[in-house]
């Protein structure tokens, strides 16, 4: 399997309350500091999410995408999904939606001279059935 195939799993989307939660896995073979998340783009049914207001949770901590550059001490562990929270907008459990996620990460230990750390963009795209959030 490629890293793109691991980013979105068949059970990656759940609906609860007024929000959709989209679980995104780290597209790399080892954990990274959260500050290595350079960009995150989420598109549902062809409509891009507002990146300026994108919020997510990792290991019980909530963040805004714009703030992660400051989080050097927090890790995005392989076993912890990054959970993006988006308005549900009438989408219900059992409905199939088209999900595309683009994750750009910086690999601080791979230095490309004279440019600096390697940045890698991984795009995952697949139809997913909305599950019901756990109670």
pLDDT in tens, 44-53: 999 999 888 8
* Residue of 94, 126, 130, 129 lying closest to 6 (CA atoms): 126
Tokens (6 digits) for 60? 């019980």
The mean of the pLDDT values for the chain is: 88
pLDDT at 1 over 80: no
Whether pTM > 0.85 for this model: the answer is: yes
Instruction: Show the beta-strand stretches assigned E in the chain.
Output: 13-16, 19-24, 32-33, 37-44, 47-48, 55-58, 61-64, 75-76, 82-87, 96-112, 116-129, 131-132
- Looking at the DSSP bridge assignments, the partners of residue 61 are 58
Q: Cα–Cα distances in Å, from 80 out to 28, 45, 57, 110, 123?
A: 13, 25, 10, 23, 19
Residue range 56-108, pLDDT digits in tens: 999 898 988 888 777 777 889 989 999 999 988 889 899 999 999 999 998 87
Do the beta carbons of residue 111 and residue 44 sit within 8 Å? no
> Nearest Cα to 86, choosing from 37, 132, 32, 50?
50
pLDDT, average across residues 101-121: 85
Mean pLDDT across 23-43: 92
């Amino acid at each position: 399997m490629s890293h793109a195939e691991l980013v979105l799993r068949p059970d990656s989307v759940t609906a609860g309350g007024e929000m959709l939660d989209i679980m995104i896995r780290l597209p790399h073979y080892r954990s990274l500091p959260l500050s290595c998340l350079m960009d995150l783009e989420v598109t549902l049914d062809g409509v891009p999410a507002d990146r300026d207001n994108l919020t997510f949770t990792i290991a019980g901590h909530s963040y805004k995408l714009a703030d992660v550059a400051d989080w050097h001490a927090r890790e995005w562990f392989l076993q912890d999904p990054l959970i993006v929270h988006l308005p549900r907008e009438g989408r219900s459990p059992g409905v199939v939606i088209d999900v595309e996620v683009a994750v750009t990460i910086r690999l601080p230990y791979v230095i490309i001279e004279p440019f600096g750390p390697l940045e890698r963009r991984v795009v995952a795209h697949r139809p997913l059935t909305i599950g019901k959030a756990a109670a």
